[in-house]
Chain A
């Protein structure tokens, strides 16, 4: 089979679709968390989702469902802590992050038999995504695109200044929690393809890359999604060409894109965009 023939195989078409859907879902929530300065909440949610998946494997229930529950639990704990200021957001994230990792390691150690399935949720493999994974990714990506378009103006106001948005009569708190829940859903749906360790870069890198290039929020969403899909496809192609891990290649390509954008950024050089 030649390199060109590989791209005609069903598993490659599925991988390309999974990369694109995951890229769109993660990059859109990425714009929200980057502009709202919530980046590390994403790290925390991804590890809580991984711990949730392991809980599912341990008790014989769907790991995807339990990963979603894990990520929503993290949102349920982090949201109020960050919101009410009882604890500094950094401290709250640190506590939930370390507790999630500890729970994941504990469950990994307690899991009987081979650990390969459990570890696949940590590393991910875009080449082995199933039709079910694709369907979930499709629903999540479609849902996030739709919500972002429908609530664009409210999101923009909350990104600018949450208290000011609230003072003008907008449901700023609902938008804030909506962003966290969407982050949890995007991260959970991408776990099987990208893995718990790397999915966070899919959230942050494309958004951070686009953030270097525009002051227009609409363009930021579009550019972020384009960069995510491009990084996904280029990373996938290189992983097939050189027989390398696909998740790692996707993340490295998106990181390279970010470095190029920082170097060329009109924001850094004081130009217009």
Chain B
């Protein structure tokens, strides 16, 4: 599969299979193409050659809106204006809006799902705070709650540990593991934080220059990096 930004290839000849229930890490330096791969799965960038299938359904055209509803996406740290009139609760509810459908209103079940997701992430007490007033770690928890509230089949996380402290990274690792184990949720986590991926994932795919270099067991990632550095 290939993706181009203008005439420049951003992803080159990518071939990757993710197993149902797998917790996969995508590791590489900035510009390696990790986030572009996530965006391609979501159909946010067009695939020029080849195709991406989620549960056998192509991530293009008329399939896309339906498919996106089955994917929970936690983006890189959002730069939201603190004055934006949106509360943490609203953000979590938004994750379910596409499933609720046009011209329909959220039901009690949808509100309960949002409350449960916030509770699971330990941020229910922040529900009525403006999203832009939350710390980086709190925003990430709310965004994770947003992704989980829609009961996705696939969870995509893009650099969840950027701009957060080590304590949050430790908590996040345990949260993602809990979520993954509880529902056997297929999860792909993009990061350039090797210790985080090594501790969290089952398997890590190495990317560089828009290509996949190979994959390895997550526990071997730090050894691999150490070898590369020497």
A residues contacting B by CB (< 8 A) are 35, 150-151, 153-154, 156-157, 159-161, 163-171, 211, 214-217, 219-220, 267
Q: Are B130 and A215 in contact (CB under 8 A)?
A: yes
Q: Which B residues, 58 to 107, have Cβ-Cβ distances below 8 Å to chain A?
A: 64-69, 71, 73, 75, 78, 80, 82-87, 90-91, 93-95, 97-100, 102-103, 105-106
Instruction: Flag whether B121 is at the interface (Cβ < 8 A).
Output: no
Give the distance in Å from the alpha carbon of A120 to the alpha carbon of B94 in the complex: 44
Which of B69, B85, B87, B97 is the one whose CB lies under 8 Å from A35? B85
Give the distance in Å from the alpha carbon of A219 to the alpha carbon of B150 in the complex: 26
B98 cross-chain contacts in A, Cβ below 8 A: 168-170
Give the distance in Å from the alpha carbon of A34 to the alpha carbon of B68 in the complex: 28
A170 cross-chain contacts in B, Cβ below 8 A: 97-98
Instruction: Flag whether B57 is at the interface (Cβ < 8 A).
Output: no
Q: Are B90 and A166 in contact (CB under 8 A)?
A: no
Q: A157-B97, A215-B87 are in contact. Are A167 and B65 (CB under 8 A)?
A: no
Instruction: Flag whether B44 is at the interface (Cβ < 8 A).
Output: yes
Q: Are B65 and A211 in contact (CB under 8 A)?
A: no
A35 cross-chain contacts in B, Cβ below 8 A: 84-85
Q: Are A169 and B65 in contact (CB under 8 A)?
A: yes
Give the distance in Å from the alpha carbon of A64 to the alpha carbon of B109 in the complex: 47
Instruction: Flag whether B131 is at the interface (Cβ < 8 A).
Output: yes
Q: A153-B97, A154-B97, A157-B97 are in contact. Are A167 and B42 (CB under 8 A)?
A: yes
Which of B85, B105, B150 is the one whose CB lies under 8 Å from A168? B150
Q: Are A153 and B106 in contact (CB under 8 A)?
A: yes
A169 cross-chain contacts in B, Cβ below 8 A: 64-69, 98-99
Q: Are B85 and A157 in contact (CB under 8 A)?
A: no
Give the distance in Å from the alpha carbon of A211 to the alpha carbon of B86 in the complex: 12
Q: Nearest B residue to A161 by beta-carbon distance?
A: B78
B residues contacting A by CB (< 8 A) are 42, 44, 64-69, 71, 73, 75, 78, 80, 82-87, 90-91, 93-95, 97-100, 102-103, 105-106, 130-131, 150
Q: Are B68 and A168 in contact (CB under 8 A)?
A: yes
Q: A168-B69, A211-B83 are in contact. Are A160 and B95 (CB under 8 A)?
A: no
B84 cross-chain contacts in A, Cβ below 8 A: 35, 159-160, 215
| Chain B: minimal CB distance from A53 (Å) | 34
Q: A153-B100, A154-B102, A168-B150 are in contact. Are A220 and B85 (CB under 8 A)?
A: yes
Q: Are B97 and A214 in contact (CB under 8 A)?
A: no
A151 cross-chain contacts in B, Cβ below 8 A: 102-103
Give the distance in Å from the alpha carbon of A167 to the alpha carbon of B69 in the complex: 8
Which of B75, B86, B95 is the one whose CB lies under 8 Å from A217? B86
B80 cross-chain contacts in A, Cβ below 8 A: 160-161
Q: A151-B102, A153-B97, A157-B97 are in contact. Are A214 and B85 (CB under 8 A)?
A: yes
Q: Nearest A residue to B93 by beta-carbon distance?
A: A153
Give the distance in Å from the alpha carbon of A252 to the alpha carbon of B5 in the complex: 47
Give the distance in Å from the alpha carbon of A159 to the alpha carbon of B78 in the complex: 13
Q: A151-B102, A211-B83, A215-B130 are in contact. Are A167 and B73 (CB under 8 A)?
A: yes
Which of A153, A154, A163, A217 is the one whose CB lies under 8 Å from B85? A217
Q: A156-B94, A160-B90 are in contact. Are A211 and B66 (CB under 8 A)?
A: no
Could you list some 5 contacts between A and B, CB below 8 A?
Answer: A35-B85, A159-B84, A167-B44, A167-B75, A216-B85
17 further interface pairs, Cβ-Cβ under 8 Å (given A157-B94, A215-B84): A35-B85, A153-B97, A154-B97, A156-B90, A157-B97, A161-B75, A163-B44, A163-B75, A166-B68, A167-B68, A168-B98, A169-B98, A170-B98, A171-B102, A215-B83, A215-B130, A267-B82
| Chain A: minimal CB distance from B221 (Å) | 28
A159 cross-chain contacts in B, Cβ below 8 A: 84-86
Q: Are B94 and A165 in contact (CB under 8 A)?
A: yes
Q: Nearest B residue to A218 by beta-carbon distance?
A: B85
Most chain A Cβ neighbours within 10 Å, of B80, B95, B97, B150: B97
